[in-house]
């Protein structure tokens, strides 16, 4: 009886087993459309982060990703696959960073950063638009340009805001120390604006 109670109390104190949710596999990547490189890499990274136990080694990540390469991209990786025994850490199949870099170099848009910078510079929120959509567009462009620094990003974010929000920001009592602070405050102001419109 004591053993039964001990067993049931130890089962009750154990946390429930966590099962990693299954995720959609990346779409096949053929290397023809440069704008698809980023989404292919991001899809792979989601899988890796969701199942880190199985993808703790770069080699496993690269081999998984190569299984989704077709067409031109498959032809590019083919010579590397004929040398699977190569254990050199700088060999393409053993380095996710190198693999990712090569995908962007060979199949990505060489002007992606410059285009994203130009789009960010001209990004404007419409007067009656929603800040949430503006933030989504802004973050998408920022993810493609690299690190501009917090101050520059705050400047560009403000520059694209409509006057109705800029006027309220000028008199807002909160101190804005980060881009996230600015986004949070503009979301709050925009929510109030749209509530009053309804």
DSSP string, 119-173: HHHH----TTS-HHHHHHHHHHHHHHH----HHHHHHHHHHTS-HHHHHHHHT--
Structure token pair of residue 104: 């962007």
Q: With 70 as the cut, is the pLDDT of residue 114 above it?
A: yes
Query: How high does pLDDT run on average in the chain?
Result: 90
Domain boundary among 74, 107, 140: 107
Question: pLDDT, tens digit, for every residue of 29-59?
Answer: 999 999 999 999 999 999 999 999 999 999 9
85 and 124 together in one domain: no
- Cα separation, 185 vs 165, in Å, equals 10
* Domain, as residue range, for 116: 112-193
pLDDT of res. 4? 53
Among 130, 110, 114, residue whose Cα is nearest residue 122: 114
Domain boundary among 62, 79, 107: 107
- Cα separation, 150 vs 45, in Å, equals 25
121 and 86 together in one domain: no
Q: Is residue 62 part of a domain?
A: yes
- Does residue 11 or residue 56 have the better pLDDT? 56
Three-state helix/strand/coil letters over 63-77? HHHHCCECHHHHHHH
Enter the pTM of the model.
Answer: 0.68
Which whole number is the average pLDDT over 85-111? Answer: 94
Give the number of domains in the chain: 2
């Amino acid at each position: 009886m004591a053993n039964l109670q001990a067993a049931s109390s130890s089962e009750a104190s154990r946390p429930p087993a966590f099962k990693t949710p299954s995720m959609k596999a990346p779409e096949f990547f053929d290397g023809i459309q440069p704008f698809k490189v980023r989404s292919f890499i991001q899809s792979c990274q989601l899988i890796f982060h969701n199942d880190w136990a199985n993808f703790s080694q770069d080699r496993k990540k690269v081999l998984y990703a190569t299984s989704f390469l077709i067409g031109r991209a498959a032809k590019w990786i083919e010579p590397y696959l004929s040398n699977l025994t190569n254990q050199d850490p700088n060999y393409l199949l053993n380095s996710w960073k190198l693999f990712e870099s090569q995908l962007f170099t060979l199949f990505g848009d060489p002007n992606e950063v410059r285009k994203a910078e130009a789009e960010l510079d001209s990004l404007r929120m419409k007067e009656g638009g929603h800040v949430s959509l503006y933030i989504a567009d802004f973050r998408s462009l920022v993810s493609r340009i690299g690190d501009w620094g917090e101050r520059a990003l705050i400047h560009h974010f403000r520059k694209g805001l409509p006057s109705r929000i800029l006027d309220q920001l000028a008199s807002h009592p909160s101190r804005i120390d980060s881009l996230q602070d600015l986004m949070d405050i503009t979301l709050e102001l925009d929510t109030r604006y749209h509530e009053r419109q309804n």
